[in-house]
Amino acid sequence: MITIAGGTGRLGSLVIRRLAQRGLEVRVITRDPARAAHLRDLSVEIVAADVRDRAGIRTALQGASTVLSAIHGFAGPGRVSPQSVDRDGNANLIDAAAQTGAEVILMSVVGASAQHPIELFRAKHAAEQRLMASRARWTIVRATAFLELWDDIMTKPIVFGRGENPINFVSVYDVSAVVERVILAPGHRGGIIEVAGPQNLTFNQLAELQQRVRGKTEKVRHIPRAILRAGAPFSRQARAALAMDTIDMTVDPTPRKAANRPLTEPLEALSRR
């Protein structure tokens, strides 16, 4: 039994479809079963549980041989946060998996560290440390920014800050393919795998690609850094946007190209949507 926490999200949904198409036994853990409506055409088990509830998550993992954590608490309903979900929720999930003997695949982010200026990256680092110190067999998959997520965020189109800072974007479809292979190949256990896209793009460049794909010439609006700084003390989104407009979030794609990792070009990924 493969159990996926965060299975109703962007990445989790794709991984579930890949596994279900193989005829594998899949369980989806979600706080709200209504959010799994798009998965009801698949032969998957849907269980209501919250990773923030230690007892509940331990029950939800009964019978699982492999657990994929694709959860995130950066934004969403139910007063979630990186601390409550990505750090503490993952700790509950990892501890429960270790107790039941399940192996764990943890979704993290490229650049996760205890000193990172973005709260989510610090919480993911804490989860990585918890997993590596546990009794569970594990694999960590780190990914860069999901291109499709930012395509949705920038629908308006709006750019946070100057939009001139290069960032590595990866297609969530490429990440789902890597995660599928990791789940099915026990030889990856005990390793850290990083998944990145073939290009580093600024938000201004991403906005240009969006307009090309959509056949539009809308004026791109910018939220000035001054406004982001003013909102930073009160909003994790503002703090993250300010960091993404200033810090190094690039990745050298050369080693990944040499290793024949899946690399969908940004324009192709946007067009496919």
Radius of gyration of the chain (CA): 18
Q: Tell me: the pLDDT tens digits for 139-148?
A: 999 999 999 9
N- to C-terminal Cα separation, the chain: 31
Segment 50-67 shows an average pLDDT of 94
Q: Is 240 strand, coil or helix?
A: helix
Average pLDDT, the chain: 92
Q: Tell me: the pLDDT tens digits for 167-191?
A: 999 999 999 999 999 999 888 899 9
CA atoms within 13 A on the CB side of 79: 1
pLDDT of residue 221: 93
pLDDT of residue 216: 83
Instruction: Pick the more confident residue, 254 or 7.
Output: 7
Q: What gap in Å lies between CA 1 and CA 87, rounded to an integer? A: 25
pLDDT of residue 74: 75
DSSP secondary structure code for residue 141 in this structure: E
> Are residues 159 and 204 in contact, defined by beta-carbon separation less than 8 angstroms?
yes
DSSP secondary structure code for residue 87 in this structure: I
pLDDT at residue 260 tops 80: no
Maximum CA extent, the chain: 55
pLDDT of residue 62: 92
User: Which amino acid does the sequence have at 142?
Assistant: R
Segment 114-136 shows an average pLDDT of 97
pLDDT at residue 254 tops 80: no
For the chain, list the domains and their CATH numbers.
2-143+172-195 (3.40.50.720)
Segment 215-231 shows an average pLDDT of 92
Q: What gap in Å lies between CA 63 and CA 61, rounded to an integer? A: 6
